[in-house]
Amino acid sequence: MDSLQGILHGLAIAATPTHVLYTLAGVFIGTMISHLPGIGPSAGIALLIPVTFGMDPMSALMMLTGIYYGCMYGGAVTAILLNTPGDAAAVMTVLDGYPLARKGRAAATLAIAAVSSFIAGMIGVTALSFVAAPLAAVALHFGPTEYFALICFALSTVSALHGKSLAKGMIAVFMGLGLATVGIDLQSGVPRFTLGFTELLDRVNFLVVVVGLFAIAEVSRMVEGTLGGTLHTVRVEGKLWFTRAEWRRARPAILRGSSVGFLCGAAPGLGGTLAAMLSYVLEKKLSKHPEEFGHGAIEGVAAPEAATNADTCGAFVHLLALGVPGSGATAVIMGAFIMYGLQPGPMLFHTNPDIVWGLIASMYVGNIMLLVLNLPLVGILSRILYVPPGILLCVILAIASIGVFSFNSDTFDLYLALVFGMLGYAFRRFDIPKAPLLFGLILGHTLEQSFRQALTISNGDPTVFVRSPIAAGLLVCATISVSASVWSRRKPRNVIQQAKEEADEQIAEHHLVNGRH
Domain boundaries, the chain: 2-467
List the alpha helices (DSSP H) in 211-298.
217-228, 244-266, 271-286
CB within 8 Å of 378: residues ≥ 6 apart: 107, 110, 111, 114, 240, 241
Cα 353 from chain centroid (whole Å): 32
Task: Per-residue pLDDT tens, the chain, 517 aa: give them.
Answer: 566 777 788 888 888 899 999 999 988 888 877 766 556 677 677 767 767 777 888 888 899 888 888 887 777 777 787 777 766 667 788 888 888 888 878 888 888 888 898 898 888 888 887 776 565 556 667 788 888 888 888 777 665 555 567 778 788 888 988 998 898 887 788 888 888 888 888 888 877 887 788 778 777 877 777 777 655 555 556 566 778 888 888 889 999 988 888 888 776 556 677 788 888 888 888 888 888 888 888 888 888 888 888 888 877 876 777 666 666 677 778 778 877 888 777 677 777 888 888 888 888 888 888 888 877 776 676 666 666 767 777 877 887 787 778 767 788 988 998 899 899 888 888 888 777 787 788 778 878 888 988 988 888 888 888 888 888 888 888 888 777 766 765 554 444 444 445 445 544 554 444 454 4
Cα 35 from chain centroid (whole Å): 15
DSSP letters, 161-187, are GSTT-HHHHHHHHHHHHHHHT-EE-TT
Strand partners, 184: 191
Look at strands 183-184 and 191-192 and give their pairing: antiparallel
Q: Are 97 and 376 in contact (CB under 8 A)?
A: no
Could you tell me the CA-to-CA distances from 43 to 66, 67, 337 in Å, in that order?
14, 10, 17
